[in-house]
Amino acid sequence: MTSTGGAIAVMGAGAWGTVLAKVLAEAGGPEAEVTLWARRADVAEHINATRYNPDYLPGTLLPPGIRATADAEGALRGASTVLLGVPAQTMRTNLEQWAPLLRDGATLVSLAKGIELGTLMRMSQVIVSVTGVDPAQVAVISGPNLASEIAQCQPAATVVACSDSGRAVALQRFLNSGYFRPYTNSDVVGTEIGGACKNVIALACGMAVGVGLGENTAAAIITRGLAEIMRLGLALGARDATLAGLAGVGDLVATCTSPHSRNRSLGERLGRGETMESALHGAPNGRDAHVVEGVTSCAAILSLASSYGVEMPLTDAVHRVCHMGLSVHDAIALLLGRSTKPE
């Protein structure tokens, strides 16, 4: 059964969840029903009182069609479409609380970009594992989508991936606005792998910038990073066209080159010699600075790649810097010291 109408709940009032609530409310017009759930009651109260979310999307006036709440049960009541905008490593614990509240047949949409530590599951797999829904009810939204730019109504495109074409098209219609253009895709695996892995490569790009390296190095990291992503994605059954598109190359380029990217910015701080603790505390949104998906996901991605016999040297180097105390300079030397081979 395809769920195409009714209320929409966005679970997570961080920058990405908030900006997608804005897109949904504006694309849907005056009749749109969008509820935005915030973990903190003060964030929800501030949004309702002022139509601003200064902690996560400063300076952006939200449309009146958004109702914020810290009550998960109230947010999910009657929602036929639920966008899950919580960090990858908290997806499971949040869903365990929310699963009994979900409407039968609802479309569940992952906004998170990561691989779960321990289980090595993609987010769509975590959703199915916890809720027991048919995988066809689960969709993924991913692409070159920097929240701060979309908040300013700058043109952007994204991918809505779902094995149920009816649900994908319904989500496409909900999100289609004058500045936000969604494309549909049935390749959930490729869309998720592109979104998770690009954060790690963005950390590497940031590290290179931090030590003073230039555009040639950045281009090499992005290109060889894409090769790693494609090797893993194809091993998992992804389509190469997906990884060559918005959810792969597009997201990779945006995240690796933008100063608004948390992962790139954190990598840059590490490249300048800061400790991991110092770099995390200096990241945007200080109180939630620990949510830099590439730092946590690099270990899971590396384990997943190893289980499929896929070599990911850039990901390995980032993991060593983030979790094993390797200096950025030593990581660069390690990569340059690898044996030469055909591209």
- Say yes or no: 173 and 291 in one domain: no
Q: What's the longest Cα–Cα distance across the chain?
A: 60
Any idea what the CATH number is for the domain that residue 169 is in?
3.40.50.720
Model confidence at 2, pLDDT cuts 50, 70, 90, reads very low
- Say yes or no: 200 and 333 in one domain: yes
| Section 27-36 average pLDDT | 83
- Specify the pLDDT at position 342: 83
Say what the pTM is.
0.93
Residue 3, pLDDT > 80, answer: no
3: in domain: no
- Say yes or no: 161 and 30 in one domain: yes
| Section 45-63 average pLDDT | 97
CA 69 to CA 232: how far, in whole Å?
39
56 annotated binding-site participant: yes
- Say yes or no: 150 and 232 in one domain: no
342: in domain: no
Single-letter residue type at 113: K
- Say yes or no: 215 and 178 in one domain: no
Question: Residue 55: left (phi > 0), alpha (psi -120 to 50), or beta?
Answer: alpha
Residue-wise pLDDT for 105-133, tens only, equals 999 999 999 999 999 999 999 999 999 99
Query: Among 145, 164, 186, which residue terminates a domain?
Result: 186
Range name among 28-42, 97-111, 305-319 with the lowest pLDDT average = 28-42
Active-site pick, 198, 264, 269, 319: 198
Residue 290, pLDDT > 60, answer: no
Instruction: Compute the mean pLDDT over every residue in the chain, rounded to the nearest whole number.
Output: 93
Catalytic residue check, 22: no
- Say yes or no: 139 and 70 in one domain: yes
Query: Among 157, 186, 215, which residue terminates a domain?
Result: 186
Any idea what the CATH number is for the domain that residue 277 is in?
1.10.1040.10
Instruction: Give the helix/strand (H/E) hosting 141.
Output: strand 138-142
- Specify the pLDDT at position 292: 87
Q: Which residues contact 154 (CB under 8 A, 6 or more apart)?
A: 179
155: in domain: yes
CA 245 to CA 247: how far, in whole Å?
6
Model confidence at 254, pLDDT cuts 50, 70, 90, reads very high
| Section 17-45 average pLDDT | 92
CA 76 to CA 87: how far, in whole Å?
18
- Specify the pLDDT at position 75: 97
- Say yes or no: 95 and 200 in one domain: no
Q: Which residues contact 337 (CB under 8 A, 6 or more apart)?
A: none
- Say yes or no: 126 and 148 in one domain: yes
Residue 335, pLDDT > 80, answer: yes
- Specify the pLDDT at position 289: 45
- Say yes or no: 239 and 113 in one domain: no
Model confidence at 287, pLDDT cuts 50, 70, 90, reads very low
343: in domain: no
Structural domain of 112: 8-186
1: in domain: no
Q: Residue 322 phi/psi, 5° resolution?
A: -75, -30
| Section 138-145 average pLDDT | 98
Structure tokens at 109: 């949409």
73 contacts 101 by C-beta, under 8 angstroms: yes
Residue 213, pLDDT > 90, answer: yes
39 annotated binding-site participant: yes
2: in domain: no
8 contacts 107 by C-beta, under 8 angstroms: no
50: in domain: yes
Number of structural domains found in the chain: 2
| Section 277-286 average pLDDT | 70
- Say yes or no: 36 and 155 in one domain: yes
- Specify the pLDDT at position 338: 82
46 contacts 91 by C-beta, under 8 angstroms: no
Query: Among 136, 170, 186, which residue terminates a domain?
Result: 186
251 annotated binding-site participant: yes
Q: Residue 83 phi/psi, 5° resolution?
A: -95, 125
Rounded to 10 deg, the angle between the 262-271 and 188-210 helix axes is: 30
- Say yes or no: 131 and 270 in one domain: no
- Say yes or no: 141 and 199 in one domain: no
3-state secondary structure of 211: coil
Residue-wise pLDDT for 60-93, tens only, equals 999 999 999 999 999 999 999 999 999 999 999 9
Structure tokens at 317: 């180097």
Residue 28, pLDDT > 80, answer: yes
284: in domain: yes
Structure tokens at 15: 């920058």
- Specify the pLDDT at position 281: 78
DSSP letter for each residue of 150-165: HHTT--EEEEEEESSH
- Specify the pLDDT at position 337: 82
147 annotated binding-site participant: yes
261 annotated binding-site participant: yes
211 annotated binding-site participant: no
